[in-house]
Amino acid sequence: MMAALQVLPNTCLLAWGWRRRGLATGAGLLSALAMPPYGIWVVLALTLPALVWLLDGAVEQGNQGTRWRWVAGFSIGWWFGFGYFLAGLWWIGSAFLVDGDRFAWMMPFAVLAMPVGLALFPALALAIAARFWPEGPNRVLVLALVLSGADYVRGHVLTGFPWNIFGYAFSDMLILAQVASVVGVYGLGLLVILILASPAVAFDTNARIQKVMIIGLSSLCLVGTVLFGAIRLIVLEDPQDTATELRIVQPAIPQAEKWLPENRDSIFERYISLSEQALEGDDRDGVERLLIWPESAVPFLLTASPEAMVRIAGVVEGKSSFVTGAIRAEEAGGQTDYFNSVYLFDSDGTVRDAYDKVHLVPFGEYLPLEDLLNSLGLRALVTAPGAFQPGFRGRPLTLASGTSFLPLVCYEAIFPALASAEGPRPDFLLNVTNDAWFGDTAGPYQHVSQSAMRAIEQGLPLVRAANTGVSAIFDAKGRLAGILSINVRGILSGQLPGKLSETIYSKYGDKIFLTMQFLILILILFLRYNRTSRQN
């Protein structure tokens, strides 16, 4: 039995050259199964220990020089990252098939370019790990420190891209995900790595005290995470639903049809028809209704179309407040600037307020290094009427009743920091999006799952309106209160859940994660000092 269990550690330890790169790539490919829509998080209990053993083997074989350690660690991390991001993000290529005649040739390059670039983060992390790789069981702590640190850096540099960071491995296990209300998703990622990499030390034959301590620490983290989640889900009293009734319209318009000029009127009529259905029936005294359309709902400038505004006013007047994603145009200095915005209308059909998207999608909504890339002919990648301009800052919008919400447009919902704004705490988070670009692939499911994590972190309900993708209502504990699945045309009705009191994460943000990193570093240094003292 033990001989059989030793097969994987021995294979990793003895691997060399292309076999080591192949094992690292395979570990990355399998690790992507931990993410939605699969959610097979236990696979990390196999692939993360494999990373530990691969580093063990590389460091032992190259113990004659520091440079070897840097190179070997970088190679293992890059191939692992390449496999992980290739398997987790391949669906991005489907966006290039929407206008296939013009962009299909780019798809293979895009599908490969993102994993090639994103793999640099785990590559640098494991290069650092290999340089300081210890012999004892505390090397699991080193792996958790550097890999979770790489996720944090990836979420911030070059505008950031915190997609599929390790914390989302627990996103479908609500009892495990609740601890994000304290440590955030980056802190949750550190716990995921620490807990699921620790089986590697079970095969260690020395340093028994440290071995027991590391396994004990990871077990304590797992038990603590489960207990905290159980208390928050079961013992912590659920807030009462509010008096606000939600009506979310999901028109399910294929992306290839949305911007065709001949479809303009039929798309608008579809929204109007669904909205009339959503608001029909008695509207009761004291009950507030909120009608919601998704991101850039109609294929024209809404506020520049008086006929459309009159139709909308006729539908919502006296019945409902109305929120929609829409492109906003603003004249400035003789030119027109465009914004990807969220409009809030009062129940009389007048515009009450607007929010401009702050965190735009590179290449999708604006062109980074515009002068340089334009000269290379890459202007065609930008789909906006001109490049979008970013908004100034995130801020809540407030209905006439006093109910407030913080808008998050499209992938703004994957950034933990954007779900927290200065000023009074909102009553809910509103994510408007359009995932039709990616069809029925893994992308829309990953997107909605990551959005729901913001509800747990902030202790606020999250309401999601998608053209198609997944429209949903999550309560303040991240539990699903209503859903319209992908490619379904219809209306999602539900009561707005109440909010919880302010969470620790909403007060302190990622300072908690950075403190965890510091404490792990101190523990590593202490164990290293203790081991050296014993050997002397």
**Catalytic residue list:** 295, 357, 410
Structure tokens at 298: 């109609």
Buried/exposed code over 323-349 (b: 16+ C-beta within 10 A; e: otherwise): bbbbbbeeeeeeeeebbbbbbbbbbeb
Computed on alpha carbons and rounded to an integer, the radius of gyration of the chain in Å comes to 25
- Helix crossing, 180-197 with 208-230: angle to 10°? 140
CA 463 to CA 504: how far, in whole Å?
A: 22
* Residue among 277, 347, 283, 282 at smallest CA distance from 312: 347
Q: How many CA atoms lie within 13 A of 470 on its CB side?
A: 23
Phi, psi of 133 (to 5 degrees): -65, 120
Which residues are within 8 A (CB) of 217 and not within 5 positions of it... i.e. 6 or more apart?
Answer: 194, 198
CB 253 within 8 A of CB 296: no
What residue type is 472 in one-letter code? A
Instruction: Please name the helix (run of DSSP H) or strand (run of DSSP E) that holds residue 335, with its range, or none.
Output: strand 335-345
Q: Could you give the CA distance from residue 93 to residue 523 in angstroms, rounded to a whole number?
A: 43
DSSP string, 503-529: PHHHHHTTHHHHHHHHHHHHHHHHHHH
**CA 56 – CA 39 distance, rounded (Å):** 28
The answer to whether 189 and 196 have CB atoms below 8 angstroms apart is no
Sequential DSSP letters for 178-203: TTHHHHHHHHHHHHHHHHHHGGGGGG
The dihedral through the CA atoms of 251, 453, 288, 357 has a sign that is negative
Would strands 335-345 and 351-356 be described as parallel, antiparallel, or unpaired? antiparallel
CA distance 115 to 111: 7
